[in-house]
Structure 1
Amino acid sequence: MTTAALVPAPDPRPHPGLPPALPARRALSEVGVVLMAAAACLGSWWAAPLPLWIGGCAGLAALAARRPAMLVLGTFLLAAGLGHRAEAGLGAPAPGPFEGVVTLVSDPRETPWGSRADVSFGGKRYEVQAGGGAAGTLGLSLAGERLLVHGRVSRPPPGAAWLKPRHVIGRVTADTIERHDAGAAPWRAANRFRRLLQRGAEVMDEPARSLYGGFVLGDDSGQTAEIVDDFRASGLTHLLVVSGSNVAYVLVLASPLTNRLGPRARWAATFGVVAAFALVTRFEPSILRASAMAAVAVTVTLAGRPATSLRILGLAVTALVLIDPLLVHSVAFQLSVAASLGIVLLSRPIAAALAGPAVVRSALAVTLAAQVAVAPVLVPRFGGMPVVAVFANLVAVPVAGLVTTWGLPAGVLAGLAGPGVGRWLHLPTELAIDWVAATASTAARVPLGEVSVRELLVVVLAGAAAVLGSLRGWAPAIHRGALMVVVVALLAPAVSLRSAPFHAEPLAGVHLYRSGGATVIVLGAQRSPSPGRALEAFRRAGVRRIDLLVAADPPPRLLRALRHRWSVGQVLDPLKPVEVTVGGLRVEVDPWPSAGLSSGGVVVTAAGR
């Protein structure tokens, strides 16, 4: 669910206290607004060295002459010039010593070597990495606070495209970090609010406590690799990222106050609520999109001009991209815009093509529309989209909304009242979080696989035929046939997982053997994989259980992660000679192997050979 779905289009009828609607005039159609937003995105991506005055003059001339096509062209030229200027500001710094007072622009994150965070210094942004005592100081800080940093600055690594939308020009390896002050007043207020919610959430047990921060604030700190992969495998990761639904829920919570105000006061109050929530949630790309849409919606309401959700989305995207052209390189922004566009354009046609109760059809249509729309972004970048996501979202999303609508005000009261009252206030919150977490954990175990680009194309084409056939009254056989093709394409990944090869190497140095219903995993002599990478790799390989794990002193975190997802049988030490048979597999462990064994001193063959 997104802001596009939850913020209604303004009522075109006269409303007491609002100025009368202005007379109709030649303006951009809905298609024109979408084209303008697309032009802004394409121009920012192109980032050509065009003088800004060319695009600016073309846009002003288009507005004066009321020429929609010229306005789209002017937007493209202006976005291209702005994009080039933004990228030109990302020049890497000269390597050398670094010393100065920096302002945190992101909350610190834990890394295997310490902590990291984005900071602002001298009008530029850097990524600070710290270990040891410096990591402790950095880890206790929050965005907006100021720190005194001593260290060395270096250029970013080659091909670090993920740094571009964050405006990061270099890396600072900190030797020492000292707290300077709490930062500007708005940041101090936002951090006090976040710490109040965190204090109120201390009454909850894990994993509900860390998940609460994700649901309400988009804070993923403290979430284990098991929880992260459960939500990723079930297609529910978007619930742990603040988005349009969070903004909509906050506006609902504020509506008893804002609805009592006059039009102009309501406009100002809504702007204030949206801006405050964006500050608390650190201006994440999805929040920027949702906040911009809310701002456009209340503005057109005040102006007395009816606007559909599609027009609001187009105007919001255009404004955001012109303000920050580097947003087009943010995957989070791309997913947020794609999901909103999909819900606006596809949810109603899909609902009309489905059978069943209206409530179920509507919920399923929104889920399908969002999943189809984000698939072109997700599948090429991350290798696939979980098939089970459709069903998991139907079960989890309605309950996840309660975590914000109830959990946010309850968190404030719990933080103020203390643990005694907070435990009772957060009981519904914890129950809702446990429901969503159980849904994610259960769905992650369902071996339905992931949709690849090939299956995605089939689903999109056949699904479009099914929707068109329903809306245009085509022969029922065509409609049913198209739906059958969709079902077959969605089941194809599960079928391919059942025909797994005898041997596979899902990770470098990690060997996976399957035969006769048995599964053996051999970890190489090198460093064991991280729990997150192991869970993802084995899940995508279709592992259903682990009968035998051969590993030299496997890390407890890795074993805990594997046992969270699968039943793990015997664990063998490769330094001790042994020969065992597990199901259809025969395993020989030789601590002093001959040369040429890909899995070290472990030989796995089919039993009976």
Structure 2
Amino acid sequence: MSGPRAFFPKPPLSTWGPGVGLGLGGLLGAWGLFHPWVLLLAPLLLPFLRLPFALGLVFVLLRGLLFPVPEPPYGTRLEGVFTLHQGTILWQGHRLWVQHYPGLEDGRYRLRGYLAPPQGKRNPGGFDQRTWLLSRGIRGVFHVEQAEALAPLPDPRAPWRERLTAGLSPQVGEVVEGLVLGDKRGLEDAYPLFQKAGLAHLLAVSGQNVGYLAATLALLPLGRWRYLLALLLLPAYLWLAGPSPSLLRASLMAGLSLLGLFLGLGAAGVFQALGLALFLQLLLRPEALLGLGFQLSYLAVLGLALVLPALALPSGARGWLLGGLAASLAAQLPLIPLLLHHFAF
């Protein structure tokens, strides 16, 4: 078989097996933690998905009930030396969002202020700080009244980033960091140009980056050991680029397929890998379900998995062109209701 159809074959029925059941069960369990009435759907789905669905539901539900995100003592005044990383600090087992104007860079600070709950959505279509922070495992905001910088925070990833851009001009190096690592800090001027050209998605690390990494290593003449090499390098790339929801989803899906290839079991089907990745992410942090990036990432891949195998695309250049257009539309269609819900106002 030639053309795009060879890359998107219709999945066998086995791909709708345990992975899908675990994923849907975990999804319902995580959703039920925030909206308990959703659990009424469990008896309707259980006869179709059976044991995997029940296990996914119970494990994620128990994870959320037994180990919830703790609520800090609001109103408490804090003063001391803290390590600030990506806008947050740790205090007595609580991860707190640091609110200060202007924003503080990563580093060691002497801070003084008070704890308060995050703010919910004030207006339709407005920013919901409470949900956004909860999706990151944060339930408290540290309002800083006084901040004294003590020392910068060393970044162990800096030498690797410097090697990536060695020999490049500053402007080109910033673009390369954006394309490879999703780091847009130096692209204040260039990022609007990417948006205008419709290429801003290239600066968001996701399955595309993981796919390039895994495919490149899988071409090495090392037999099945090349799959193990690619599998071992995925955590390194996650550490270097940062574990965003889409990158973690893509790494889990790729890792499952690479492990299957290394063990001689074959690559995991798209639905199977998607369901297992969903279950594992929700088992790790059920509140991640509330994150918009998490939702968009899974819905886009689900659209690709559902639409592309059903298309009868011609072979040759015309098929590749139509396949690219179909892939873009398939990924966007499931996102429309969600985007309208969040940004229609």
TM-score interval, smaller chain:
0.7 to 0.9
Q: CA deviation at 1:44?
A: 0.7
Task: Give the Cα separation in 2 of the matches to 1:73 and 1:288.
Answer: 24
The secondary structure found in structure 2 opposite 1:283 is coil
Query: What letter corresponds to residue 366 of structure 1 in structure 2?
Result: A
Letter in 2 for 1:314: G
Using the TM superposition, give the Cα deviation of residue 235 of structure 1 relative to its aligned residue in structure 2, in angstroms: 5.3
Partner secondary structure for residue 294 of structure 1: helix
1:175 to 143, 147, 152: 147
**Quick one: distance in 2 between partners of 1:77 and 1:346?**
31
Contact conserved, 1:218 with 1:281, CA < 8 A, in 2?
yes
Q: 1:335 aligns with which of 296, 307, 311?
A: 296
Calculate the TM-score normalised by the size of structure 2: 0.77
In structure 2, the partner of 1:36 is 22
Q: In the alignment, which residue of structure 2 is the partner of 1:273?
A: 233
* Offset from partner CA, 1:309-362 (integer Å, 9 cap, x none): 221111111111111111111111111111111112212324539998111111
Aligned to 1:283: 243
Q: Kindly state the Cα deviation for residue 246 of structure 1 after the two structures are TM-superposed.
A: 0.6
Q: 1:45 to 1:148 in 2, by over 3 A?
A: same
For structure 1, which segment, 304-313 or 328-337, has the greater mean C-alpha deviation from structure 2 after superposition? 304-313
For residue 379 of structure 1, the aligned residue among 334, 340, 344 is: 340
Aligned to 2:90: 120
Tell me: CA distance 1:351–1:342, structure 2 relative to 1, closer, same or farther (3 Å): farther
What secondary structure sits across from 1:47 in the alignment?
A: helix
Amino acid at match of 1:152: G
Distance 1:92 1:333 in 2: 29
Tell me, yes or no, if the aligned pair for 2:81 and 2:110 is still in contact at 8 Å: yes
- What does residue 181 of structure 2 align with? 217
CA 101–262 in structure 1, closer or farther in 2 if over 3 Å, else same: farther
Label 1:225 to 1:237 Cα distance change in 2 as closer, same or farther (>3 A): same
For residues 254-300 of structure 1, the C-alpha deviation after alignment (integer angstroms, 9 at most, x for no partner) is 345xx34454x445422321101111111011110011111111122
Alignment of 1:441-460 (within 5 A): none
Larger radius of gyration: 1
RMSD: 3.6
Question: With structure 1 as the length reference, what TM-score do the two structures score?
Answer: 0.46
- Once the two structures are superposed, what CA deviation does each residue of 1:16-67 show, in whole Å capped at 9, x if it has no partner? xxxxxxxxxxx975165334312211211211799xxxxxxxxxxx9xxxx9
Find out whether 1:96 has 2:43 as its counterpart.
no
What are the equivalent positions in structure 2 for 1:278-427 lying under 5 Å apart? 278-306=238-266, 307-350=268-311, 352=313, 357-383=318-344
SS, match of residue 89 in structure 2:
strand
Residue 280 of structure 1 aligns to which amino acid in structure 2?
L
- 1:104-253 → structure 2 map (5 Å cutoff): 104=85, 106=86, 117-131=87-101, 138-139=104-105, 141=106, 147-159=108-120, 160-172=130-142, 173=144, 175-179=147-151, 182=154, 188=156, 190-197=157-164, 200-201=167-168, 203-205=169-171, 210-224=174-188, 227-228=191-192, 231=195, 236-253=199-216
The percent of aligned pairs where both chains have the same amino acid is 24
Q: Deviations over 1:83-106 (max 9, x none)?
A: 3345442445443023133252x3
**CA contact under 8 A between 1:43 and 1:79: conserved in structure 2?**
yes
Q: Distance in 2 between matches of 1:335 and 1:211?
A: 24
Q: Distance in 1 between matches of 2:32 and 2:326?
A: 34
The answer to whether the 8 A contact 1:6-1:245 is kept is: no
CA distance in 2, matches of 1:262, 1:93: 57
Secondary structure in 2 matching 1:176: strand
Deviation by residue 1:183-227 (Cα, 9 ceiling, x = unmatched): xxxx61x232124435655x154xx55443322211222333884
Indicate how the Cα distance of structure 1 residues 299 and 38 shifts in structure 2: closer, same or farther if over 3 A, else same: same
Conserved 8 A contact 1:7-1:297: no
Aligned AA for 1:100? V
Tell whether the 8 Å contact from 2:117 to 2:141 is kept in structure 1 after alignment: yes
CA distance in 2, matches of 1:180, 1:379: 41
Instruction: Check 1:272–1:47 CA distance in 2 against 1; reply closer, same or farther (3 A cut).
Output: same
Contact 1:8 1:309 in 2 (8 A): no
- What SS does structure 2 have at the residue aligned with 1:361? helix
User: 1:564-600 CA deviation, whole Å, 9 max, x = no partner?
Assistant: xxxxxxxxxxxxxxxxxxxxxxxxxxxxxxxxxxxxx
**Which residue does 1:111 correspond to in 2?**
none
Could you say if the C-alpha distance between residues 329 and 68 of structure 1 is closer, same or farther in structure 2, counting changes exceeding 3 Å?
same
The number of residues matched between the two structures is: 317
**Among 61, 64, 87, the residue aligned to 1:83:** 64
Alignment-mate amino acid for residue 98 of structure 2: V
Query: Residues 533-548 of structure 1 correspond to what in structure 2 (within 5 A)?
Result: none
Amino acid at match of 2:301: S
1:101/1:180 contact within 8 Å kept: no
> Is the Cα contact below 8 Å between 2:21 and 2:52 reproduced in 1?
no
Residues 24 and 56, structure 2, Cα contact 8 Å, conserved in 1? no
Q: How does 1:500-519 map to 2 (within 5 A)?
A: none
The CA distance in 2 between the partners of 1:199 and 1:310, in whole Å, is 40
Closer, same or farther: CA 42–200 of 1 in aligned 2, 3 Å: farther
TM-superposition CA deviations, 1:210-252 (whole Å, max 9, x none): 4433222112223338844862x66544222100001111223
Contact 1:155 1:170 in 2 (8 A): yes
Give me the whole-angstrom Cα distance separating, in 1, the residues matched to 2:138 and 2:162.
27
CA gap 1:235/1:295 in 2 versus in 1, 3 angstroms: same
SS at match of 1:168: coil
2:42 is aligned to none
Distance 1:268 1:354 in 2: 33
Q: Could you say if the C-alpha distance between residues 228 and 155 of structure 1 is closer, same or farther in structure 2, counting changes exceeding 3 Å?
A: farther
Q: 1:28/1:156 Cα in 2 relative to 1: closer, same or farther (>3 Å)?
A: farther
